[in-house]
Amino acid sequence: MTSTESTSTERTSTERFRAEYAQVAMRSIPAPLAVLTRGEGARVWDVEGREYLDFLAGIAVNSLGHAHPAFVEAVSRQAATIAHVSNYFAAAPTIELAERLVRLTGGDRVFLCNSGTEAMEAAVKLARRTGRPRILALENAFHGRTTGALALTGKPAMRAPFEPLLPGVEHLPSTIAALEEAIGDDVAALVLEPIKGEAGVLDLPPDYLAAARELTARHGALLIVDEIQAGAGRTGEWFAFQSAGITPDAIALAKGIGGGFPIGALVAFGAAAELLRPGDHGSTFGGNPLAAATANAVLAEIERAGLVENARTRGTELRLAILGMASDLVTDVQGSGLLLGVGLARPVANRVATRALELGLIVNAAAADRIRLAPPLIIGATEVARFAEIFAAALADVERELAAESAQDTPEGAPA
């Protein structure tokens, strides 16, 4: 019996999973694009046995790719040793992780939690502890989905159903002029993404970070940088703020530091590290030894294998490959290292991502006209070449479809 004849294959087909999941998953969860069963390096396989090159890495999470031996060993070893102790106690991996984050970031104190949105909640509390009422954030930025982080998120459509949210938050255009106009001595913090990942990987204007540092310092406001997507080596620096040569007051981390194990952190610098007082904040799972040991192993492997430099090298190769594609659809490439956004001349990102998936490549339509790329940091020249081949084919297919559609729309004999 071939696999296509087997009833068990029918039972595990993508459609069947989708239908079953749709019955039980909260309606806020979208239908899965594919149902994945396993991964290895930068490749994953779905229930139908189809192989994909993964250029999304669980949205900038799987820094070491899938099933990396260092990740597997750390989870297994720590699970077999001691997994959880609560905040009444501590374990060596937790202390080691806090020390490692202090060393890598240049910060002073670390609050460990379980996700990006929780790191942002801690950032909100830090800002509130200044005693000042206003928090500035940027339009089109994303900071998470719990209500404090959502209040910071600069996407009105996401906030609207849940208002009233945290008061005192103002969203500014991402220009130095807008910041100069808005900032004052009553501002607790400016919160920003150094590269707007969820918006489709958009750069801030050149010198924005330096100006933001200067203006916040002048007014005694905190500069809080959300490195949840950009951090942990992805941009070709350990943390994106480092490329601007500034020192922030706090950075939020998650995603890539755990390499697939849920974890988040807020790292505070200098005087900001003293703002939270005993009892101000906590978390049952935050600093859990299992998560901490895994993050230690992931960050140590990024250091050992030179993956920050690799992100820079492969990122340059990727950017050149994309800009070299003979496609009229591509307008720009923004971002840095292995967090890149490809701008499209038309709002067809979904079609490009869908076609790429059919051809065996996972990329993400982060905005209607932007494709986000966030592959594992371990990719080599082979994966870049394979990506370029499939992505160019997907673009060409969509361009052909668009040309055919516009030919259909043009009445015969009329000028095109």
Ligand X SMILES: Cc1ncc(COP(=O)(O)O)c(C=O)c1O
Q: Which residues here bind ligand X, judged by CB under 6 A?
A: 59, 115-117, 120, 142-144, 193, 197-198, 226, 228-229, 254
Shortest distance, CB of residue 264 to ligand X, whole angstroms?
6
**CA separation, residue 235 to residues 140, 232, 258 (Å):** 20, 8, 16
Which CB atom, from 116 or from 399, has the smaller least distance to ligand X?
A: 116
**Cβ distance 41 to 376 under 8 Å?**
yes
Tokens encoding 307: 């993956």
**Cβ distance 265 to 38 under 8 Å?**
no
Which CB atom, from 371 or from 398, has the smaller least distance to ligand X?
A: 371
Query: CA torsion 153→158→164→168, rounded to 10°?
Result: 20
Which CB atom, from 228 or from 268, has the smaller least distance to ligand X?
A: 228
Where in 64-146 does DSSP place strands (E)? Answer: 109-113, 134-138
Catalytic residue among 55, 111, 142, 261: 142
Tokens encoding 25: 């998953």
Shortest distance, CB of residue 268 to ligand X, whole angstroms?
17
Token look-up 């350990």 returns 238
Catalytic residue among 71, 111, 196, 255: 255
The residue at minimum Cβ distance from ligand X is 116
Around 282, how many Cα atoms within 13 Å sit in the side-chain half-sphere? 9
**Cβ distance 164 to 310 under 8 Å?**
no
Catalytic residue among 46, 111, 196, 226: 226
d(CA 378, CA 361): 16
Annotated active-site residue 142? The verdict is yes
Shortest distance, CB of residue 27 to ligand X, whole angstroms?
18
Shortest distance, CB of residue 192 to ligand X, whole angstroms?
10
Which CB atom, from 198 or from 369, has the smaller least distance to ligand X?
A: 198
Annotated active-site residue 255? The verdict is yes
Annotated active-site residue 269? The verdict is no
Tokens encoding 158: 């996401």
Dihedral sign (CA 144, 240, 248, 213):
negative
Shortest distance, CB of residue 69 to ligand X, whole angstroms?
25
Which residues fall within 8 angstroms of residue 307, CB to CB, at 6 or more apart?
A: 63, 64, 233, 301, 377, 378
Nearest to residue 191, comparing CAs of 232, 257, 130, 143? 143
Which CB atom, from 6 or from 284, has the smaller least distance to ligand X?
A: 284
Which CB atom, from 151 or from 384, has the smaller least distance to ligand X?
A: 151
Shortest distance, CB of residue 210 to ligand X, whole angstroms?
20
For the annotated catalytic residues, the residue numbers are 142, 226, 255
